[in-house]
Amino acid sequence: MMTKKLACLASTALVGSLLSATAAMAQSTGSQANEVDSVVVTAAGTRAVAGQVVETAPKSRASVDAAFLATQSTGQNVFQSLNLLPGVSFTNNDPYGSSGGNLRLRGFDGARVSVTFDGVPLNDTGNYAVYPNQQLDAELIDRASVNLGTTDVDSPTASATGGTINYVTRKPGHDFGGIADASIGENNYRRGFLMLDSGDVGPWGTRAFVAGSWQKYDKWKGPGTLEKKQVNARIIQDLGDRGDFVSLAVNYNENRNNNIRTLTLPEFNAFGKNLDYTDTCVNRVLSPATATITTSAPVIPGNCSDFYGRQVNPSNTGSVRGSALFHLTDNLRLTVDPSFQYTLADGGSQLTTVSETDGRVKGTGTVGKDLNGDGDTLDSVAFFAPSVTNTRRYTGTSSLIWDLNDDNRFRIAYTGDYGRHRQTGEYTTLNTDGTTTNVFGGKEGHGATVATADGSFLRARDRFSIAQLNQVAAEYRGKFMDSRLTVNLGLRAPFFKRELNQYCYTQNATNLTTVISGFTVNCTTQVPVVTNTDGTVQFAAGAAANLRYIKPWSATVKYDKILPNAGATYDLGGGSTVYASYAEGFSSPRTDNLYTATLVNGVGAPADTKPETTKTYDLGYRFSSPTFMATAALWKTDYKNRIVQAYDPDLNISIDRNVGAVKAYGLDTQAAWAPEEYLTVTASFSYNSSKIQDDLVNGSAVGNVLPLSGKQVVETPKYTFGGRVDWDITDALALGVQGKFTGDRFSTDVNDEVAPHYTVWDLSLKYDLPFAKKTYAQLNVNNLFNETYFGSISSRTNAQAITGVTGRGAPTYYIGSPRTVQFTLRTEF
């Protein structure tokens, strides 16, 4: 009983890197097939605990499984459930997970972490961002794992320098049955989930499941709601008796959310954490210095600031995922993982006012247009202009695995990833109350566009890119010294290409040293009035001479890198193992970086942005016994060409800058202990030092240098500590308490503003009921002690004025949600 209890704990909480069903953790079918035989199994004792086996991969890896996910609040995104693992820092923007959040892995932000779902890459094809509120329902996740600082050899990514997060969908059951749960909670929370397994059907034992969920709740502060709908299905056909199969799965997710307002530090100090958007369309001016707020009616109808009705964050996402494993011979296997993904989402919501005689409205003509229908062209009119992204993505990953003998395995893999990335910002009209008539603006097939005088339409941006990855990989795994020594050698070679098409006029990036109204993109059909000798154009003369634009342009950029990795694990005996690993990472520039255009020989060209690269070293130790398990890893990462995004308030834009080298090192530890059959304790601790190595020259002005050398990377806590206690009070009643301490985090690159450390405790109480196959009632309390803290950070370069440096900006923060209670009734049948 003791070993069974510890195994359950270890695989569900903090020691997943010690105990793990390795085949379920890997991201692709190829990685699953490659790793399924790579563990050491014994009948009993320190190397096998109640059917769980000790991880032998020579890399730092941790995981959680379905049993642990079930202890968390229902509807929660999977990243929040990984927050107790060492090296992981996730800040949730609301108590139930639909507002998104900020992921950090050993100090790397989410855009530098490869996230895959059944082998399908989830990072955005343009900016590599990941969106926590769009992830799979937790009830359907078999296991989620984290590779700290490294990738798998077939990771389908051009962006991973910080590691990977992989999660795998459960397989349909062999028997008819299902899961149903219903939840209610504070903030008018309501959620329902239903999954049905078909069981083995027909002469070949085909099996499938179908599942759906719906949740909706009010924001924890201010007006507005968050709603999420999701549908999933999977069908699988086993082939023969050697583990071969074919599978097809589908996922569709729809979010309709109102944003939660972020606060600057002065706003928080003056008005408190509950400050949010207004519930009616009025203009509002905040004066933190005097702690006063003034409001006024908008002069232009609908032109109001801080109004919740236009703070919307919609998304429609879906995927179709295939997977297959075939034995070509007894010792040769082929895996195939094709997929298609669709995304339609707003990247930002903004209000725009346009004069009826604006040049964009006139276009190629000379007269304006009546935009509001009042019979004249004398007005300025307010419109909704979201930044909409529409992506269609086709991916295929395949592996060929050859077992030379029991001790030597070779593998080659290929990944093709092709994404069509359309970024637009079509204006659309507002309702009389100031809300938008369509959350996707005037996107084709959704809202109405705003026609101009010459038959075109108003838009804030208009560009199209193709992201294409062709990647080959090879791996060798060998066992030596009576299988006590396992060696892995791998090589990953991504070849990445972006085809860029800018259909609008772009302000010349070389003119940005001049203080102007903003870095603008002019999407217009009007004819320029001035063409300069350098090839730039102007749409007005005189005072507008600073507004020089580059004509619409197209370009292709290519990046490639050979990425070796190596590792070894040695079994010391007595439950102890040691491992060492080395891995190189690579992240090609993001789309937005490249669209900051410059002139080359008189025509537009993408910004000269270098890829980011890393070299990561790990040295680790693992120990397991029937009642105690632990691991510790020392790591070091050398980072070149680190890109920092900083906000410039004078230019009113975010500019990406290369801050050069970053050196990082740290310690990740975790442990689990079962002092009694009914009591288990887990804990993790991480230390992270991530230092920028050089100062940053901030423009061409003499002395305009940001003092970044020796500064900690923004949003990266030096210390984190997590832990959980599980107590089976009776056979039917179980109590779980978990907590996470997050240390101070700097919110500026120069470290002149800090988000203070905080600790959040959560509680779960489960009572088994004597119904169906398994039925229980569960109470979850998030932020048990009602801690007030800063969660996700939108960082800046510097918050305080620096002599000789132009500009500064105020970081903004999501305030952590208060104590929240949720009740769930779940049954399995």
> Is the Cα torsion angle 211, 214, 220, 222 positive or negative in sign?
positive
> Is the Cα torsion angle 136, 137, 142, 147 positive or negative in sign?
positive
Q: Is the pLDDT of residue 366 over 50?
A: yes
pLDDT at 520: 74
> Is the Cα torsion angle 131, 134, 138, 144 positive or negative in sign?
negative
- Least confident range of 129-138, 201-210, 398-407: 129-138
How many angstroms separate the CA atoms of 266 and 367, rounded? 46
What long-range pairs does 742-746 form, CB within 8 A, spacing at least 24?
742/89, 742/91, 742/717, 743/717, 743/718, 743/719, 744/717, 744/718, 745/714, 745/715, 745/716, 745/717, 745/793, 746/711, 746/712, 746/713, 746/714, 746/715, 746/716, 746/795
Q: How confident is the model at residue 45 (pLDDT cuts 50, 70, 90)?
A: very low
pLDDT at 820: 97
pLDDT at 603: 84
Q: Is the pLDDT of residue 48 over 50?
A: no
Q: How confident is the model at residue 479 (pLDDT cuts 50, 70, 90)?
A: very high
767 touches 777 (CB < 8 A): yes
pLDDT at 536: 87
- CA–CA distance from 493 to each of 23, 57, 585 (Å)? 24, 21, 10
- Least confident range of 540-554, 763-777, 790-804: 540-554
Q: Is the pLDDT of residue 652 over 50?
A: no
Which pairing describes strands 485-502 and 459-480: parallel, antiparallel, or unpaired?
antiparallel
Q: What is the mean pLDDT of residues 425-450?
A: 93
Residue type, 651: L
How many angstroms separate the CA atoms of 505 and 547, rounded? 11
- Least confident range of 304-308, 710-714, 758-762, 801-805: 801-805
Q: Is the pLDDT of residue 24 over 50?
A: no
Burial classification of residue 301, based on how many CB atoms lie within 10 Å of its CB (0-12 exposed, 13-18 middle, 19 or more buried): middle
Q: How confident is the model at residue 235 (pLDDT cuts 50, 70, 90)?
A: very high
pLDDT at 544: 52
Q: Is the pLDDT of residue 740 over 90?
A: yes
Q: Nearest-CA neighbor of 479 among 402, 404, 406, 576?
A: 406
Q: How confident is the model at residue 815 (pLDDT cuts 50, 70, 90)?
A: very high
Q: Is the pLDDT of residue 8 over 50?
A: no
Q: What is the mean pLDDT of residues 664-674?
A: 92
Which architecture, in CATH terms, is 2-161? Beta Complex (2.170)
Q: Is the pLDDT of residue 591 over 90?
A: no
pLDDT at 458: 95
Q: Nearest-CA neighbor of 796 among 649, 666, 683?
A: 649
Q: What is the mean pLDDT of residues 566-576?
A: 94
Q: Is the pLDDT of residue 19 over 70?
A: no
Mean pLDDT, all residues of the chain: 86
DSSP string, 501-568: EE-SEEE-GGGTTS--S---EE---PPPSEE-TTS-EESS-GGGGG--EEPPEEEEEEEE--EEEEEE
Residue type, 668: D
- CA–CA distance from 560 to each of 437, 468, 493, 500, 819 (Å)? 44, 12, 7, 17, 48
Q: Is the pLDDT of residue 23 over 90?
A: no
How many angstroms separate the CA atoms of 430 and 470, rounded? 44
CB within 8 A of 288, min separation 6: which ones?
264, 266, 267, 269, 270, 271
- Least confident range of 569-583, 613-627, 689-703: 689-703
pLDDT at 509: 61
First-to-final CA distance of the chain:
26
Q: Is the pLDDT of residue 232 over 90?
A: yes
Q: Is the pLDDT of residue 372 over 90?
A: yes
pLDDT at 572: 95
Per-residue pLDDT of 90-102, as tens digits, reads: 998 999 988 888 8
Per-residue pLDDT of 394-404, as tens digits, reads: 999 999 999 99
Percent of the chain with pLDDT over 90: 60
Q: What is the mean pLDDT of residues 18-30?
A: 42
DSSP 701: S
Q: How confident is the model at residue 30 (pLDDT cuts 50, 70, 90)?
A: low
643 touches 657 (CB < 8 A): yes
pLDDT at 285: 92
Q: What does the CA dihedral 669, 156, 89, 100 come to, rounded to 10 degrees?
A: -150
pLDDT at 31: 57
DSSP string, 437-455: S-TTTT-TTSS---B-TTS
How many angstroms separate the CA atoms of 441 and 422, rounded? 15
Residue spans of the domains in the chain: they are 2-161
H/E element, 284:
strand 283-287
**pLDDT: is 149 or 672 the higher one?**
672
| pTM tops 0.85, yes or no | yes
Per-residue pLDDT of 489-543, as tens digits, reads: 999 999 999 999 999 998 876 554 333 334 478 899 999 988 888 888 888 776 5
**pLDDT: is 277 or 809 the higher one?**
277
Q: How confident is the model at residue 133 (pLDDT cuts 50, 70, 90)?
A: confident
